[in-house]
Amino acid sequence: MRPTDVRMFKALVDAANRVASVELDAAILGAEADAAGRAYFEHWARTAAEGSNPLAADMGRQALLLAKSRSGWRPIIRALIPLLVDSARAEDGAISDADDDRAAWDACMKEIRSEKGSDLDLDEVIQGLALRSKEPPRDPEAVTLLTVHASKGLEFDLVYVVGMAEEMLPSWQSVKKGDASAEMEEERRNCFVAITRTRERVVLTRSLRYRNWAKPPSRFFAEMQIDPGPL
């Protein structure tokens, strides 16, 4: 970040506050940094390092090292990542995305190294991270969930079409418009798109109740001359 980038500095302070459970004020820190003639990032790092919160102090000390030596970022990042992951697991029973975030980081770094080589400058890493998805790699054994619209143009060996019930597919809005409406025709096309995404097998599923409301089978079963059977 630029030494006096207020927007990015506030995002950094807010993120650090959430991680370490502290309440440092970005506006006050910025004013103090201006008065002292320091870069915002360095001033936050000093303030955090000198505070009483152990996690914030650790983060601040590592950030000071990073501010002083941009070329020595690798060992600092290697120290910070386990620190952040461990902090997310600190509270028993808490749901954390730390492992997913770590996997996303590892995947991004692998891609950046494959393009730029192993001797990376910090600016190259930051730019590379900004251009990449922050989602963790998908498990090859995972079930892929897609909306009908997002599935257009794709094909799969096995497809499950979920929600084949009146007011679901077709939607409540199209049912209210009537069977001959443009909205219902669009729902028919959506059903066709969903079914034709499969190469080998398609499974049409429905539930008896949705949000505790009973719903009959989709009219598209009858139009396809398929008996949905009892539930």
Q: What is the CATH number of the domain that holds 194?
A: 3.30.160.800
Across the chain, what does the average pLDDT equal?
84
Going by C-alpha positions, the residue among 98, 99, 106 that lies closest to residue 125 is 106
Residue 102 lies in a domain: no
Last residue of one domain, picked from the residues 75, 96, 117? 96
Residue 105 lies in a domain: no
The mean pLDDT of 30-51, rounded to a whole number, is 90
pLDDT of the residue at 171: 93
* Residue 210 DSSP symbol: E
Question: 10 and 76, same structural domain?
Answer: yes
The number of distinct structural domains making up the chain is: 2
Q: What is the dihedral of CA 223, 225, 228, 229, to 10 degrees?
A: 140
pLDDT of the residue at 174: 94
Residue 119 lies in a domain: no
The strand pairing partners of 209, in sequence order, are 214
The mean pLDDT of 204-219, rounded to a whole number, is 92
67: which 2 tokens? 């501010």
Residue 77 lies in a domain: yes
In sequence order, the 6+-apart residues with CB closer than 8 A to the CB of 167 are: 175, 210, 215
Q: pLDDT (tens digit, 9 = 90+) per residue, 153-172?
A: 889 999 999 999 999 999 99
> Which of the residue ranges 19-28, 101-110, 115-124 has the most confident prediction, judged by mean pLDDT?
19-28
Alpha helices, H only, the chain: 6-20, 26-36, 40-49, 54-68, 73-88, 98-116, 122-130, 172-177, 182-195, 219-223
Is the pTM value of this prediction over 0.85? no
Going by C-alpha positions, the residue among 51, 6, 58 that lies closest to residue 28 is 6
What angle in degrees, to the nearest 10, is found between the helix axes of 26-36 and 6-20?
A: 120
Instruction: Classify burial at 161, counting beta carbons within 10 Å of its beta carbon; exposed 0-12, middle 13-18, buried 19 or more.
Output: buried
What angle in degrees, to the nearest 10, is found between the helix axes of 6-20 and 54-68?
A: 140
Split at pLDDT 50, 70, 90, the class of 203 is very high
Residue 129 lies in a domain: no
Longest dimension (CA), the chain: 78
Domain enclosing residue 71, as ranges? 6-96
Last residue of one domain, picked from the residues 61, 96, 131? 96
| Distance separating alpha carbons of residues 227 and 28, to the nearest angstrom | 68
